Amino acid sequence: MTAVVEPEAGRPAENDGRAMTVAKTAVVAGPLIVPAVGLGYPLAWVVARSFTDRDDAFAGGATWGSTLADPAVHKAVWRTLEVAALSTLGCLVIGTFLAFVLAFVPFPGSAGVVRMIEAVVALPSFLIPLALGVLFGSVGVVSASTGHQFTFLATVTGVVLAEIAFYTPFVVRPLLAAFSQFPSAHIDVASLLGAGPTRIAATVILPRVWPALAAASSLTFLLTLNEFGIVLFTGAKDVTTVPMMIYTKSMVASDFATAAVLATMQLTLSVIVYLGYRAVVRRFDTRTGA
């Protein structure tokens, strides 16, 4: 008599569990393949290219050494930091003032102003220098009417003003969100105690919204640090930032090795600033949740 072997009762459940694990892995790994191939590979290629020479031959750290020793690179790095810092400072001053007025000094049409500020973010960045060029360019309206006395668009001042005009909404929007959560009772109490508007803003409001202000400034600095289109379209030939130098080295001089070194430096600096931005945002979220 032949014995009949019954299947183990737990095996179907075990197979279903493995199938579910495979399915979950596929769902998670699938979307990761696209950025890994589309972003990770080019970045890895850029880093690897930085260790070659102009003829694409392995050069070790020679290209890094020559690039880091180049005074023009030093000037470009400092110019990049200067433009980003001045632009961020200008955005903070103007953006904080605008957000404060829109949040605490309501006036007819304030909602329309907010919508207009938000719309600027949707515009391509190069439209700002083109618009400013109509006014302050070498053949602009102001320049022509003043005997070419105000042709500052193709200077550091012009680049900074263009970046302030474009990136100020990145400060206004988060501050408006922070101001909307501010208890109005605190302002009423401070006013009853005799505090003026300036003191209320400095001692009551700003200390409560500084995390939002820090997050906005970090994001703005990160964006202005990597800005290329505005610098290019202002025609500021003497304002050589690292992104502009990367473009010149790669597209004009065909020196892809040096461009890769500069790109790797810019990437490293951007990651550092981004990590600082994320740290501020996490602290802000923690304090808000508490």
Sign of CA dihedral 193, 197, 203, 206: positive
Q: pLDDT band at residue 11, thresholds of 50, 70 and 90?
A: low
Ranked by mean pLDDT, which of 57-61, 83-87, 141-145, 276-280 comes out on top?
83-87
- Tens of pLDDT, residues 127-136: 887 777 777 7
The per-residue DSSP string of 7-36 comes to PPTTHHHHHHHHHHHHHHHHHHHHHHHHHI
What is the number of other CB atoms lying within 10 angstroms of the CB of residue 226? 17
* Percent of the chain clearing pLDDT 70 (strictly above): 74
Q: How far apart are CA 142 and CA 161, in angstroms?
A: 16
Q: pLDDT band at residue 8, thresholds of 50, 70 and 90?
A: low
What is the number of other CB atoms lying within 10 angstroms of the CB of residue 261? 28
- Tens of pLDDT, residues 60-70: 889 999 999 99
Is residue 280 predicted with pLDDT exceeding 80? no
The per-residue DSSP string of 44-66 comes to HHHHHHTTB-TTS-B-TTHHHHH
Is residue 290 predicted with pLDDT exceeding 50? no
Query: What's the pLDDT at 141?
Result: 67
- How many Å from the N-terminal Cα to the C-terminal Cα in the chain? 73
Rg (CA), the chain: 27
Q: How far is CA 210 from the centre of its chain?
A: 19
Q: How far apart are CA 223 and CA 164, in angstroms?
A: 11
Ranked by mean pLDDT, which of 13-17, 91-95, 103-107, 141-145 comes out on top?
91-95
Q: Cα-Cα-Cα-Cα dihedral of 262, 266, 268, 270, to 10°? A: 180
- Mean pLDDT lowest among 71-75, 108-112, 171-175, 223-227: 108-112
Q: pLDDT band at residue 110, thresholds of 50, 70 and 90?
A: confident
Question: Can you read off the two tokens belonging to residue 197?
Answer: 């508007």
Cα 222 to Cα 93, 125, 227: the distances in Å are 17, 15, 9
User: What phi, psi does 52 have (nearest 5°)?
Assistant: -120, 180
Q: In 3D, which of 147, 142, 165, 149 has the Cα closest to residue 233?
A: 165
CB 258 within 8 A of CB 52: no
- Mean pLDDT lowest among 106-110, 112-116, 203-207: 203-207
- Tens of pLDDT, residues 153-201: 778 888 898 899 899 999 998 888 888 777 666 666 766 766 666 777 7
Place of tokens 């005997």: 147
Ranked by mean pLDDT, which of 54-63, 143-152, 175-184 comes out on top?
54-63
Q: pLDDT band at residue 235, thresholds of 50, 70 and 90?
A: confident
- Mean pLDDT lowest among 94-103, 109-118, 275-284: 275-284
Question: Can you read off the two tokens belonging to residue 112?
Answer: 């329309």
Greatest distance between any 2 Cα atoms in the chain: 114
pLDDT greater at residue 89 or residue 151: 89
Question: Can you read off the two tokens belonging to residue 67?
Answer: 């690039």
Query: What's the pLDDT at 78?
Result: 94
Give pTM, 2 decimals: 0.78
Q: Please compute the mean of the pLDDT values over residues 260-267 and round it to a whole number.
A: 93
CB 244 within 8 A of CB 225: no
Q: How far apart are CA 126 and CA 130, in angstroms?
A: 6
Average pLDDT, the chain: 80
Q: pLDDT band at residue 238, thresholds of 50, 70 and 90?
A: confident
Q: Please compute the mean of the pLDDT values over residues 239-243 and round it to a whole number.
A: 91
Q: How far apart are CA 44 and CA 25, in angstroms?
A: 25
Q: Please compute the mean of the pLDDT values over residues 215-224 and round it to a whole number.
A: 90
